[in-house]
A and B are shown apart, each in its own frame.
Chain A
């Protein structure tokens, strides 16, 4: 046995060490490596909804229009210009000439028409971007360069259609969109990059598209490297194994301060973070659903709760200061539509107590308030079990509400279960939050009566506001084509939402990123001021990445050769020890027997 073992080891050693591992760095261009903590749910643009996947789609598929990097203004993309009929029901998009798919076929209006029609007729294809075509009556390609869209009603959001357009000659052969993984490499697309390799759970590689109509990107390759926890991604950034990481926690962000060759990017977030107070949920037919506490139907109780919550403390403690105190519904990153309450409901537990006393909720012997019917104010507070911010916010809110005589039970559950319970109205308080888009229509719609679930439970409700005043304003803004007038309407909607206090906007978290400054000189942030690199509403971050000379000549990154030699050395050492032991054994074996 000893001899065989020794022989194996020798064979292994020879195999492992004989040819020097070629540390071949014959690169001419730079690779930008993004560390991701999220999975690509799919590469199928009709199905993918995670930020990671949509970020890839923006870089490989054309869209009609896109949002400018500097300020989110709508800017031409595949559609060079557009016009609309007098009644604003018919829109004509004139597409750019000379744009080609990565397999050489031209990109035409027929591809766009095919994409939208598929989304309108095939339920599976409407999974990710169905909301864009909800109001579409007909989409036709008049010729190769002209796309005509007719809508049912006038729609102010017609220029905010950034759904990916797919090549008809590929997708018309796909019978079942839901079952199509779209993982045949290279994926036929027409963006600044082309997906060339995908190892699920590990990485996704994109090559620069040299024929991109705006001109080729400055980098040669774009890579998304997947990590299972943000700590691993940060460690990789520190070692230079990736160039950009996003979604940092405050602690991680602070830890990277002063790190050599690492530059921090503190961007304004697109998200708002809110607590929903169940105002008596109803479904689309107006029938009450769920288990909401009766006391929360009283707007005075909801306002009192807001007075008992100190948003500034939450920003300081939970976000480590990396965020803005909440107020209006739309985050301040979208200046045109952001609104701040002129008179905030300030943190004032004494006032909150007074308000509850006056509203007729006296404290019981246990210090917990009661409704007129004698029911204690005991609220279930549903949280995302995976989010440390939720847990922290929950702990703070629980203490604060105890001070005003309200008992709160924290119920951390999975995202899916939270979604189910929100939709069913089975909560008293629940944490919610949405990433707003440059066009506010999608998030504004969440508070309308139409967003309530149907009796079968379909739909995506948020706070179950369903207020006639709000709904009238919503309909008005959707048909308002003057930007200033529309912004005014949106501000009034936010005021109404704030007064009703069904959703308490606690804060807008910053988006915390960091990148390797030894390999990249800078990125085109969106927006230019306090913007982000990753997950933009567009492809600017990667397209405009400016590699340093070091990155172009291939320095930095993993020192692969040394690592391989270190490993080889370790193997040799272990092998030598084993051989030595075996030889010694054999030498003494004779005398032993």
Chain B
């Protein structure tokens, strides 16, 4: 008997997933975004296999400084004679990791605040939402700058600075969704049957909220990647690591812009645009999938 119940659940899940995929597939923008992301992520993951990391070592760089694209270096060279193509390729890894980690951090904070505010209500909710609203209107870059200035420089600081400034939208979204979920009769029933906070949140609220959180994370990654590049551009990044932001900063500092070194300026910038666009498109499509209210809008 339990087996059949499991089977039913499994079948229902499969059906839901199929339905979600159908809706997602119908969104051409979302599909394009997914393709972009799959390509970029695959390239980033395969970088150690397809390329030689030794090319990132300045003492072994063979090219001349700031040369335009040629047969040897398809996207030209940087100020140390390294291949811009190789740097952009490896830079994707850092940018993606920072973007994902920061987005994850912000979504975890946001979901926690949102669920708690919605579930407990009353003063907890009022205080949490007060804080959320406060952080929501705060110019996040200003706060992130302040944080990265006072903390030691490094990737962890960047992740932290973005993570703790970007969560309020998620918190509001999750709170709204949690409230809708908790208003459903089956939750009332389970509370009446003696379910505790942990049970309600863990078993009912979280599973219902997660899809939306997932869509939201996707959107957060997009803004986190932009934030990373902006902080790096302002000189708050970790210059010993190659990311798209630090490449642009290096291009700026060494005067590549004046030197007309478009091959050094365009690849990292376009990389950011492609990845951010990919995440944005995917995120919007996912939102439409998981939040039927939004369907038909995009």
Chain A residues within 8 Å of B, Cβ to Cβ: 229-231, 234-235, 248-252, 254-256, 313, 317-318, 320, 385-388, 391-392, 394-396, 399-400, 410-414
Q: Are B240 and A388 in contact (CB under 8 A)?
A: no
A386 to B256, CA, bound (A): 16
A338 to B256, CA, bound (A): 34
Q: Are B79 and A392 in contact (CB under 8 A)?
A: yes
A249 to B257, CA, bound (A): 11
24 example contacts (A-B, Cβ-Cβ < 8 A) are as follows A231-B252, A234-B258, A249-B254, A251-B258, A252-B258, A252-B259, A255-B255, A313-B59, A317-B58, A317-B61, A317-B65, A320-B65, A386-B235, A388-B250, A388-B254, A391-B240, A391-B250, A394-B240, A399-B58, A399-B59, A410-B239, A410-B240, A413-B153, A414-B149
Chain B residues within 8 Å of A, Cβ to Cβ: 57-61, 65-66, 79-81, 149, 152-153, 235, 238-240, 250, 252-261
- Going nearest first, the 5 A-B pairs with the smallest beta carbon separation are A252-B255, A388-B253, A249-B255, A255-B259, A251-B259
Q: Are B80 and A392 in contact (CB under 8 A)?
A: yes
Q: Are B153 and A388 in contact (CB under 8 A)?
A: no
Contact of B256 among A235, A251, A400 (CB under 8 A): A251
B254: chain A residues within 8 A (beta carbon):
249-251, 388
The residue in A235, A251, A313, A413 that gathers the most chain B C-beta atoms within 10 A of its C-beta is: A251
Q: Are A251 and B66 in contact (CB under 8 A)?
A: yes
B153: chain A residues within 8 A (beta carbon):
385, 411-413
A198 to B239, CA, bound (A): 36
Q: Are B259 and A412 in contact (CB under 8 A)?
A: no
A387 to B252, CA, bound (A): 11
A385 to B235, CA, bound (A): 7
Q: Are B240 and A412 in contact (CB under 8 A)?
A: yes
A392: chain B residues within 8 A (beta carbon):
58, 79-80
A128 to B153, CA, bound (A): 30
Chain A residue nearest to B60 (CB atoms) is A399
Chain B residue nearest to A320 (CB atoms) is B65
A557 to B291, CA, bound (A): 58
Q: Are A400 and B250 in contact (CB under 8 A)?
A: no
CB distance from A242 to the nearest CB of B (A): 13
Q: Are B65 and A251 in contact (CB under 8 A)?
A: yes
A410: chain B residues within 8 A (beta carbon):
239-240
A412 to B250, CA, bound (A): 14
Contacts known (A249-B253, A320-B65, A413-B153); A395 close to B259, Cβ less than 8 A:
no
Q: Are B235 and A251 in contact (CB under 8 A)?
A: no
Given contacts A230-B255, A251-B261, A412-B239, 13 further A-B pairs with CB under 8 A are: A234-B258, A251-B66, A252-B255, A255-B255, A317-B58, A320-B65, A385-B239, A387-B253, A392-B80, A396-B58, A412-B153, A412-B240, A414-B149
Chain B residue nearest to A390 (CB atoms) is B239
CB distance from A442 to the nearest CB of B (A): 29
The residue in B57, B238, B239, B257 that gathers the most chain A C-beta atoms within 10 A of its C-beta is: B239
Q: Are B252 and A229 in contact (CB under 8 A)?
A: yes
B256: chain A residues within 8 A (beta carbon):
251
Contacts known (A230-B255, A251-B66); A412 close to B238, Cβ less than 8 A:
yes
A414 to B236, CA, bound (A): 9
B58: chain A residues within 8 A (beta carbon):
317, 392, 395-396, 399
A411: chain B residues within 8 A (beta carbon):
153
Contact of B258 among A231, A318, A385, A386 (CB under 8 A): A231
The residue in A234, A255, A410 that gathers the most chain B C-beta atoms within 10 A of its C-beta is: A255
A414: chain B residues within 8 A (beta carbon):
149
The residue in B57, B80, B81, B253 that gathers the most chain A C-beta atoms within 10 A of its C-beta is: B253
Contact of B255 among A234, A313, A394, A412 (CB under 8 A): A234
Contact of A395 among B80, B149, B255 (CB under 8 A): B80
Contacts known (A231-B258, A252-B258, A385-B235); A395 close to B240, Cβ less than 8 A:
yes
A413 to B256, CA, bound (A): 23
CB distance from A334 to the nearest CB of B (A): 28
Q: Are A400 and B59 in contact (CB under 8 A)?
A: yes
A256: chain B residues within 8 A (beta carbon):
258
B79: chain A residues within 8 A (beta carbon):
251, 388, 392
B61: chain A residues within 8 A (beta carbon):
317
Contact of A251 among B60, B149, B239, B255 (CB under 8 A): B255
CB distance from A516 to the nearest CB of B (A): 16
CB distance from A143 to the nearest CB of B (A): 54
Q: Are B260 and A255 in contact (CB under 8 A)?
A: yes
Q: Are B255 and A248 in contact (CB under 8 A)?
A: yes
CB distance from A95 to the nearest CB of B (A): 45
Q: Are A391 and B259 in contact (CB under 8 A)?
A: no
CB distance from B269 to the nearest CB of A (A): 15
CB distance from A387 to the nearest CB of B (A): 8
B250: chain A residues within 8 A (beta carbon):
388, 391
Chain B residue nearest to A392 (CB atoms) is B80
The residue in B252, B254, B261 that gathers the most chain A C-beta atoms within 10 A of its C-beta is: B254
Q: Are A396 and B240 in contact (CB under 8 A)?
A: no
B57: chain A residues within 8 A (beta carbon):
399
Chain A residue nearest to B82 (CB atoms) is A395
The residue in A318, A392, A396 that gathers the most chain B C-beta atoms within 10 A of its C-beta is: A392
A249 to B252, CA, bound (A): 10
CB distance from A495 to the nearest CB of B (A): 30
The residue in B57, B61, B65 that gathers the most chain A C-beta atoms within 10 A of its C-beta is: B65
Chain A residue nearest to B65 (CB atoms) is A320
CB distance from B116 to the nearest CB of A (A): 37
B235: chain A residues within 8 A (beta carbon):
385-386
A413: chain B residues within 8 A (beta carbon):
152-153
CB distance from B128 to the nearest CB of A (A): 35
A152 to B240, CA, bound (A): 50
A400: chain B residues within 8 A (beta carbon):
59
A396: chain B residues within 8 A (beta carbon):
58-59
CB distance from A249 to the nearest CB of B (A): 4
A395: chain B residues within 8 A (beta carbon):
58, 80, 240
B81: chain A residues within 8 A (beta carbon):
317
Q: Are A255 and B258 in contact (CB under 8 A)?
A: yes
Contact of A231 among B149, B239, B240, B257 (CB under 8 A): B257
A131 to B39, CA, bound (A): 62
The residue in A231, A252, A318 that gathers the most chain B C-beta atoms within 10 A of its C-beta is: A231
A254 to B79, CA, bound (A): 12
A412 to B65, CA, bound (A): 23
A252 to B261, CA, bound (A): 10
B59: chain A residues within 8 A (beta carbon):
313, 396, 399-400
Contact of A317 among B80, B240, B258 (CB under 8 A): B80
CB distance from A379 to the nearest CB of B (A): 14
A318: chain B residues within 8 A (beta carbon):
80
A251 to B263, CA, bound (A): 14
A399 to B54, CA, bound (A): 11
B240: chain A residues within 8 A (beta carbon):
391, 394-395, 410, 412
A439 to B259, CA, bound (A): 37
CB distance from B55 to the nearest CB of A (A): 13
